[in-house]
Amino acid sequence: MPTPPVHEPVRRVLILGGTTEARRLAAALATEPGVRVTTSLAGRVAAPRLPAGDVRIGGFGGPEGLARWLREHAVDALIDATHPFADTISFNAARAAATAHVPLLALRRPGWDAQPGDVWHPVRSLTEAAAVLPALGDRIFLTTGRMGLAHFAHLTDPWFLVRSVDAPEPPHPPRMTTLLDRGPFTLEGERELLHRHRIDVLVTKDSGAAATAPKLAAAREAGVPVVIVRRPPVPDGVPVAAEPDAAVDWVRTLLG
Domain 11-110+233-255 has CATH 3.40.50.720: yes
> What whole-number distance in Å separates Cα of residue 118 and Cα of residue 50?
36
pLDDT class for 3, splitting at 50, 70, 90?
A: low
Residue 214 dihedral angles phi and psi, to the nearest 5°:
-55, -25
Given strand 176-180, what is the order of strands in its sheet?
Answer: 120-123, 226-229, 201-205, 139-142, 159-164, 176-180
Residue range 120-229 forms a domain whose CATH class is: alpha beta
pLDDT, one tens digit per residue, over 164-210 is 988 999 999 999 999 999 888 999 999 999 999 999 999 999 988 77
Residue 255: strand, helix, or coil: helix
Query: Is the CB of residue 159 less than 8 Å from the CB of residue 138?
Result: yes
Q: Is 192 helix (H, G, I), strand (E, B) or coil?
A: helix
Given this model, what pLDDT does residue 6 score? 47
Categorise residue 71: left if φ over 0, alpha if ψ from -120 to 50, beta otherwise. Answer: alpha
**Tally of residues, the chain:** 256
Q: How far apart are CA 13 and CA 33, in angstroms?
A: 12
The pLDDT score that the predictor gives to residue 127 is 97
Dihedral sign of CA atoms 155, 160, 162, 167 in order:
positive
Helices (H), the chain: 20-29, 62-72, 87-100, 126-132, 187-196, 214-222, 244-255
Q: Which residue from 83, 86, 124, 88 is spatially nearest to 228, judged by alpha carbons?
A: 124
Question: What pLDDT score was predicted for residue 184?
Answer: 87
> How many alpha carbons lie under 13 Å from residue 46 in its C-beta half-sphere?
9
* Residue 255 · residue 230 · CB < 8 Å: no
Same fold, 11-110+233-255 and 120-229: yes
Could you tell me the residue ranges of all domains in the chain?
11-110+233-255, 120-229
User: Cβ distance 8 to 34 under 8 Å?
Assistant: yes
Bigger pLDDT: 10 vs 232: 232
Percent of the chain with pLDDT over 90: 85
Local structure of 29: helix, strand or coil = helix
